[in-house]
A = this chain, B = another copy of it.
């Protein structure tokens, strides 16, 4: 009984996600679903990326959190159009939430929409919100065992950002072994090492985004 209802929920989510994808496609907007653990650095990376892409393309952001509008305030502070979704305890964004949030944005002339999901390395990977591609941020401080322990999110994502790479001397993170595990899980995965505080890899991430935006235009 529970399984049947769960399938219905997912089926309904997929139906709305497909509608979202069609809507964004017609508007020629590339949509990235940005995922990762709490504190992996999603919002900081987003801030740096938005600053660097300013003037090059027009961007809007949907921020997902259980509670608070802290992240949306950070994005708004740098002059980017943003809307906050509060899930009130819910552990992931779903397609319906993104649909409603998108309706509240002015998406005319927007080229790139970044959806920052709830901080969670498990559940967001299971829910299509109508994005073109998924990205996952893994902080060095989380440990090199995470890809094999949380494989779905790395399999589903087109790109993994190995963030806080500047903290590697203070951890026992084995970069070679993490890269090997990631490539085993997902041979075509794009991997970029990033650090917001040391400005590492953010240009490469911006170039990747610009390439993807170019593909939908």
**A→B interface (CB under 8 Å):** 1-2, 5, 8-9, 37-39, 65-68, 70, 89, 91, 118-123, 126, 139, 141-143, 145-146, 148-152, 164, 167, 170
Contacts and interface: CB of A to CB of B under 8 A. Distances in A.
Given A38-B149, A39-B142, A149-B65, A121 B122 contact: no
B143 A39 contact: yes
B152 A89 contact: yes
Given A66-B122, A123-B91, A123-B123, A38 B146 contact: yes
Contacts of A122: 66, 89, 91, 118-120, 123
A64 to B, nearest CB: 11
A123 B90 CA distance: 8
Q: Which of A8, A65, A66 has the most CB of B within 10 A?
A: A66
Contacts of A167: 141, 167, 170
Contacts of A143: 38-39
Given A89-B152, A149-B70, A119 B37 contact: yes
Contact of A5 (B1, B65, B123, B164): B1
A91 B152 CA distance: 12
B38 A142 contact: yes
6 contacts: A1-B5, A66-B149, A91-B91, A119-B149, A120-B122, A139-B141
Contacts of A149: 38, 65-68, 70, 119
